[in-house]
Structures are given as structure tokens and as C-alpha cells.
Structure 1
């Protein structure tokens, strides 16, 4: 079995319209899309493909700097981003990964993404560093949708005590209203 025997290339297209026409002709497992297409953007093609073919694996293969375009391609609906200068083994690995339902990014992009996640987690942690354990517990209950009276019952405290904790939370988190506190709690701790 040769290096490429596991794959069959159905068609090629140089622009969005011919790519969409080719997609309509037969069933495809994977689309490899360049960011630069004749007369248009590969990002727009990716968005259209994702809307029309939800199960299609989409790999972006481009000469454009992944630091600038990989995130945009993923947001548009791609399952991976690969630079054109990568070796054949990387390309085949990327194709296999996206066909298996995984996301493919270079080691450098994975490292950047991990650093971003760690930075975001530290930022959230710093944001709530000054609140007490009881305030954190109340913030969590707010995120779960409990009101002041319900929280007071759950924690066996008076509603005035819970209201005081909520006021302290708004002050410590520099929030203007109870609605802002609820929004903050849901964004930080809400069930996904």
C-alpha cells in the first residue's frame, strides 16, 4: 500500500463557487481549504461549508501566518490549520486527525492556546482572590440561579446576611448592580 492509498481526492476548486458546486456533486469526508482563493476569502468558504455540511471535516492549509489566521479559521468552522510548508507527514497527520473528529493545530499554536488558557484562568482567579469562602459559596449559588431568599434557606442564614454578602461581592468585584453580579457569577461559575 502506497503512502496516499488510504485517501481518494474527488475534486479540486480554485474559488468558492466551484468548490460549492463540487460539494453538491458527491459526498465528501474532508475539505482542504486555502485562506486565499481566486476572487474571495477561504474563511467565507469555510463558514458556508460549515453551515451546509455540519459533519464535514475541514482543514485549512495556508501560507498565511497561523498566529494571525488559525483562530479565525477555527472560529469560521475549520477543524484544523496547517502551514503549507509543513512536511508530508504533518499534512497526513493533520488529515487523519480532523477525519477522526479532532482539532489539528501545530505545536506552536497549541502552546499559544495553552498559554492563553492559563492566562485567562489566572485573570479570573485574581479577580475573585479577595472574596471569602462564604462569598464564593454565595457567588456559586447565584450562578446556579438561586435568589437571595433561596440562598438564605440553603445556608441557614437570614436574608439580610445574604444581602450584605451580595453587597460585599458587588463592592469587591467592582460591579454596579445585582444584575451585573448575576451575569458575572454565571460567566465565571455557571454550569456549561
Structure 2
């Protein structure tokens, strides 16, 4: 049996931490190794415990989840961070993803859905929602211009995979669209991230836009 994913829970409300812990500890492939009440404590416990996955609240006193995410990802880029929030407000979620978070979960999701989401996050398989992908592209459209005649180290197939990632498609959707296996899609994504030195789908979406591979409303 593989070692369980070590999880750090970060939330300023004790009852929220307890609720998240009760959801997560049901599953053998997750182990809660610590809890923090704010961003500063999250950084400290990350140093001490070296978790694989951090469930991070956004709005907290002392230091919020956005700043904590930025600091932790700069220091430990391999640690996965999932934002846990009661709202799907795009601005906060977008900022957290730009700072390196792998994704987000809404606190009001039914507990039975958490397992699949967390396993997918742990394995880098969760796509952005279509709405979030659209919002990201709209923001880039108002503040950036695609590079003219930009060059890319990606192969033609990798560019095709990247285009669908930027539109919010899942690995499974991409495999069906391109008529390749889901395993092949995962390998393409791994190669793309290594070539570009990027960590998540938001960063990939930005790259796709800046390289002129995709446009808003396309």
C-alpha cells in the first residue's frame, strides 16, 4: 500500500478545522498531520511537518491564505495547496491560483464529493471550471497582449493539449477530443509543465494566451 497523502488543515475557525478533519480522516489514503489557525502558523507547520497537501482557507487573521500560499509555494514548490472557501468569488480564487495553489474546494460541497476531488488534486488531475477559464482569459485580454511570432518548445501535439487545458477541459475530455488515452494526456501535461517550468493549469492558461494559442471567446 502506498503511503497516505499527508494533509495540513489551515482555517481560523476551530469547528471548520474539525469538520474538514472528519471528512478527510475517513479515508486511508489521507492522513491529517497538523492544523493551523492562520497563515503564519501554516508556514511554521509546513516547515516542521512537510505535508504533501495543504487545505488552506482564504480569509484569516494575522496572515491570509493568499499570502501564506505565496510564501509556502516559493519555499516548497512541490507542496500542493488547495484553497477551501465558502464562496466561489473568482477574484480571490484566481489570485490564489496565480500564487501557485493547485485548485479550490467549496466548503458547502457534499462530503462524499471531497474524496474524488482531493485524490484528483493530489495527482494533478483536476481541471479548472469553464467559468474560471473564461474569467482568466478575460483578465489576460484586458492587461496583456499576445506575443507576436512567439516561439515555443512544445510539440504540435503538446500545443493541442495545452489549448484544451486552457479552455477548462479535464484530462478525460481531452483524451476523447484528441482520440488518445487519458494516460497519454497525463504524460503530455507532465512534459509540458517540465518544459515550461510551470506548476498548474492557471499558469498553463496564461502561457497559452501569451503565446497566442488561445483567445477569449474562442
Using the size of structure 1 for normalisation, the TM-score is 0.55
Q: Which has the higher contact order (CA 8 A, sep 6+)?
A: 2
Give 1 or 2: higher helix fraction. 1
Q: How many residues align?
A: 126
Looking at structure 1, the residues matched to 28 and 52 of structure 2 have their Cα atoms a distance apart, in angstroms, of 16
Cα root mean square deviation, aligned:
3.2
Looking at structure 1, the residues matched to 211 and 44 of structure 2 have their Cα atoms a distance apart, in angstroms, of 44
1:84 is aligned to 107
CA contact (8 A) 1:15 1:38 kept: yes
Taking a change above 3 Å as real, the CA distance of residues 40 and 104 of structure 1, as seen in their structure-2 partners, is farther
Matched, 1:37 2:76: no
Looking at structure 2, the residues matched to 82 and 104 of structure 1 have their Cα atoms a distance apart, in angstroms, of 12
Matched, 1:113 2:133: yes
Q: Which runs of 5+ in 1 are unaligned?
A: 122-138, 145-186
Alignment of 1:18-167 (within 5 A): 18-103=41-126, 105=128, 107=129, 110-114=130-134, 117=137, 140=149, 143=150
Larger radius of gyration: 1
| TM superposition shift of 1:116 | 6.1
1:113-160 CA-partner distances (Å, limit 9, x unpaired): 157659x89xxxxxxxxxxxxxxxxx74xx56xxxxxxxxxxxxxxxx
CA contact (8 A) 1:79 1:104 kept: no
Q: Which runs of 5+ in 2 are unaligned?
A: 1-24, 142-147, 152-209, 214-218
